[in-house]
Structure 1
Amino acid sequence: MTTRKLGRSGIEVSALGLGCWAIGGPLWGEDGQPYGWGEVDDDESVRAVHRALDLGVTFFDTASNYGAGHSERVLGRALGGRRDSVVVASKFGNTFEEQTRLATGADGTPEYMLSCLDGVLDRLGTDYLDLYQLHLGHLPTEQALELVDPLEKLVAQGRIRAYGWSTDDPERAAAFAEAGPNCAAVQYDHSVLNDNAAMVDVLARYELAGINRGPLAMGLLTGKYHGAAGRIGGDDVRGKSPEWLQYFTDGVPTPQWAELVDRVRQALTADGRTLTQGALGWLLARSPWTLPIPGVRTVAQAEENFATLALGPLPEAAFAEVESLLAELR
């Protein structure tokens, strides 16, 4: 139960991956909106990646714009001579200026997809990428499908092994999967607080890996911020929440979501897991195609998150209890 297939690519990966958004550090919108997770210690990030490797993690998910390329540079440094023993995913579509850490917009054209890959490989220090993902979830399907042939050519050239789309829309995911044989994954928001049954059906129908971003509801399911007196800093995306970030409001947990955490806490921790481990175990139990990617910034976070690999999916009785508790809300 410690490994899963990366969809129909057949690539074997750890059942939990490491999400690398946070280790990218600050990223700012032109309007002053933060899109990173605040300042980070790069040396600690490297140690956290190394600890994850020790605990059996072989799948690492980043994006070209996380920290305006900084996440990829830190990950490349951390993986060092271990590149061939891991599976690395990145994303394209969001544009940025690396030197100023500025998010500048979006570009879903084939031309940008190709030029972005050059930068991705350079920052990671590798000559191939295992999974290359479109990062623009609301791109019109017709435009996204124009990327399929160029992506298939990249697979044929050996520059990537597979590709996917980061979108919460099951219809978009299905269309992408139907269009290209080497489409292996869809990345979407999924946690015990935010189920997506329609997407789970798509995963099974097309044999796609469901890479679960937000598996801990942006940190809410760690319990760390529940009832906390202080606010998350203003350089953190949760500290000045954009409209799509529902779990936090101006740096504190949104009350209705915090109440949901209280509702499922006991069921998620009944067998001795921490709340974090219970939330990740719920996702592992949800479907054989799910692949949660909790983020880490410290060794301690890596140790807690990836101890779930040994614990495995949430037991059937606990999973059923969580479903019963939340049924009236879905």
Structure 2
Amino acid sequence: MTTTRTLGRGGMAVSADTPEYARRALTASLRRLGTDHVDLYRLHISDADPDRAVELRDAREGFVREGLVRAYGWSTDDPERAAVFAEGPHRAAVQHTLNVLQEAPRTLALCERLEPASVNRGPLAMGLLAGRRGGTLEAGDIRSRPLPAWLPGYAPDGSGADPRWPARIDAVRDVLTSGGRTLAQGALAWLWARSPRTVPIPGFRTVAQAEENAGAIEKGPLTAGQLAEIDRLLGR
């Protein structure tokens, strides 16, 4: 589905999956940020047409030559689409869903072959891998509303966690919490063990949660044996 945005003088409508829109959006962002460049410029139209994506990649190479962008990437769970950007000279990242319960072997293989970073969306499965068990959710919490298809793990009607997901987490809890890790730290440790290209981007709502996430670094990745044990327990 092509997304249309209105951007620029005169309210002119410009399709969001075009080089023209990318330049206007980038220029507007630089102005708001008060800077002359961004380090990583990502495309967030996950289902953009692959043929159009070549134009978008080439436009970003132009931004690099102009000094407006240092590197670029695509946020998409489709490895074939991700490959279009990953083949560009200045690509730096593929952002995609990856966590203990949601594997992405083809995208990881792409990242290991072409060497962009694997930036991991949903590394804590929207809180489930941080110990969230459902129950009452705060007003405004995206998980309390009917959910889009890209957000599994919670009941579609917004009533809380899908009971199948906590059951799977319980099956691997002992492995993830080994070495004094919290559940969230174990989920991050799994990602680092899964591939050296992974860069998880866990969310947090409090300072304590941010510190807990950061504390996973000193405990390091899980072992290869622990990875294999998790695969066995999850039946994959």
Amino acid of the structure 2 residue aligned with 1:116: A
C-alpha distance 299-122 of structure 1, shift in aligned 2 (>3 A):
farther
Query: 2:79 maps to which residue?
Result: 170
Question: What TM-score does the superposition give when structure 1 sets the normalisation length?
Answer: 0.64
1:243 aligns with 2:149: yes
CA deviations on 1:270-299 (whole Å, 9 max, x unpaired) are 211000000000000001111111112321
Give 1:125 shift.
3.2
C-alpha distance 96-300 of structure 1, shift in aligned 2 (>3 A):
farther
Secondary structure at 1:253 match in 2: coil
Do 1:121 and 1:127's aligned partners in 2 also have CA atoms closer than 8 Å? yes
Higher helix share: 2
Do 1:294 and 1:305's aligned partners in 2 also have CA atoms closer than 8 Å? yes
Secondary structure at 2:96 match in 1: strand
Query: 2:101 maps to which residue?
Result: 193
Give 1:260 shift.
1.0
Query: 1:269 maps to which residue?
Result: 177
Matching of residues 198-277 of structure 1 within 5 Å: 198-223=106-131, 225-226=132-133, 228-230=134-136, 232-240=137-145, 241-249=147-155, 250-277=158-185
Do 2:15 and 2:21's aligned partners in 1 also have CA atoms closer than 8 Å? no
Aligned length in residues: 225
1:119 aligns with 2:28: yes
Do 2:94 and 2:118's aligned partners in 1 also have CA atoms closer than 8 Å? yes
Do 2:30 and 2:37's aligned partners in 1 also have CA atoms closer than 8 Å? yes
Structure 1 CA distance for aligned equivalents of residues 192 and 120 of structure 2: 10
1:152 aligns with 2:61: yes
CA deviations on 1:283-322 (whole Å, 9 max, x unpaired) are 0000111111111232111100011121111233322221
Structure 1 CA distance for aligned equivalents of residues 56 and 15 of structure 2: 15
Do 2:53 and 2:84's aligned partners in 1 also have CA atoms closer than 8 Å? no
Higher relative contact order (CA 8 A, sep 6+): 1
Matching of residues 1-330 of structure 1 within 5 Å: 107-178=16-87, 180-223=88-131, 225-226=132-133, 228-230=134-136, 232-240=137-145, 241-249=147-155, 250-326=158-234, 328=235, 330=236
Give 1:190 shift.
0.3
Secondary structure at 2:149 match in 1: coil
Query: 2:10 maps to which residue?
Result: none
Structure 2 CA distance for aligned equivalents of residues 125 and 297 of structure 1: 27
Secondary structure at 1:221 match in 2: helix
Structure 1 CA distance for aligned equivalents of residues 5 and 127 of structure 2: 26
Structure 1 CA distance for aligned equivalents of residues 135 and 141 of structure 2: 17
Give 1:94 shift.
8.5
Give 1:109 shift.
1.2
Amino acid of the structure 1 residue aligned with 2:144: G
Secondary structure at 1:238 match in 2: helix
C-alpha distance 317-184 of structure 1, shift in aligned 2 (>3 A):
same
Amino acid of the structure 2 residue aligned with 1:255: P
Amino acid of the structure 1 residue aligned with 2:142: V
Amino acid of the structure 2 residue aligned with 1:248: Y
Structure 2 CA distance for aligned equivalents of residues 202 and 122 of structure 1: 34
CA deviations on 1:185-227 (whole Å, 9 max, x unpaired) are 110000011011111110111011000010000111000x21x
